[in-house]
Amino acid sequence: NQTLAPTRTNKSTHDTKHTHTYTTKTTIIMACWTCVDQGTFGVIATCGKFDRFAPPGCHVIIPCVGTANVGTISTRIQSLDVSVETKTLDNVFVNIIISTQYQVLQDPSRMFDAFYKLTDSKGQIRSYIFDVVRSTVPRIKLDDVFTSKEEIAMEVKNMLAKSMEEFGYNIISTLVTDIAPDPKVKNAMNEINAAQRQRVAAKDRAEAEKIMVVKAAEADAESKYLSGTGMARQRQAIINGLRDSVVNFQKEVDGISSKDVMEMMMMTQYFDTMKEVGTQGGNSTIFVPSGPAAVADASAAIRAGLMQGNAAVAAMQR
């Protein structure tokens, strides 16, 4: 902007020349533009003092009056993974990975605290996680650490939520994503588990073999019972047949006693047995006397056996 102000001066009353003087005034205004990305807020300060938060979009700042964009603060959900090495109650070192999701509270006063009160938010969260994990896990045995993941995560979340709220951060969730003991300890745990499973498997195999043996014994006993029953019925049938044969033979032939008939039938059975032994395949070789004297000896042996049997029956009847 220019303003012209003419002035007229007289150097002398006798001077016919006139001099005109013009004064020029200039005002220059300098302005800059700044763009804030979506999901973030720009921090505008004037002469180093906080002025306001700039939402996403395009904004005008005037550097000549000390206005500047001193930084940005993100309102997105952020994630931080922290690996903590600690000792359990049974003196086993283990690495626990804690994953924390957090976000800046979208309130001007809370965003002010998040930007100006805390220099390193991730470092602060990491320190709290170390403190909570190393004070909680040493009270738990290694086997119980795996089953207490939810309790450990809840302890960490409660501590972080209580501490980080002062700095304008909201702790959304905390998860125990991994528990990694020393490789030697892991191998030992696997071997213990394998040994326990082998012991259970051996017990089951023994029970199965026991059942098989018992069932086999029961089957053998049942088989022998049925075989004995069949043999007894067979012998009973033979006795009935012999009795009928003796009675019929005595009726048809006079002068022959039942004893003579039995001896003759026993000899017939003897020869039938010899025939079966000789005609069946796969039998072992059997040497038996076959002369007339041998037949007489067999008849005498059968007779003696019958006499002994009769004597025994008589003795039992007495």
Mind listing the pLDDT tens digit of every residue in the chain (318 residues)? 334 444 444 444 444 444 444 444 444 555 688 888 898 999 999 888 898 898 999 888 888 888 888 888 998 999 999 999 998 898 888 999 999 999 998 888 889 988 888 888 889 899 999 999 998 899 988 888 888 889 999 999 999 998 898 889 999 999 999 888 888 887 887 788 788 888 888 888 899 999 999 988 999 888 888 888 888 887 788 777 767 777 777 677 666 666 666 667 777 777 777 777 777 666 666 666 655 556 566 667 766 766 676 677 677 776
Nearest to 169 by CA among 73, 83, 248: 73
**Alpha-carbon gap, residue 205 to 202, rounded angstroms:** 5
pLDDT at 102: 93
**Alpha-carbon gap, residue 90 to 17, rounded angstroms:** 111
**DSSP conformational letter for 82:** E
**Alpha-carbon gap, residue 144 to 130, rounded angstroms:** 19
Nearest to 132 by CA among 98, 164, 96, 159: 159
Q: Which residues contact 74 (CB under 8 A, 6 or more apart)?
A: 39, 40, 104
pLDDT at 98: 93
pLDDT at 9: 42
**Alpha-carbon gap, residue 265 to 271, rounded angstroms:** 10
pLDDT at 67: 86
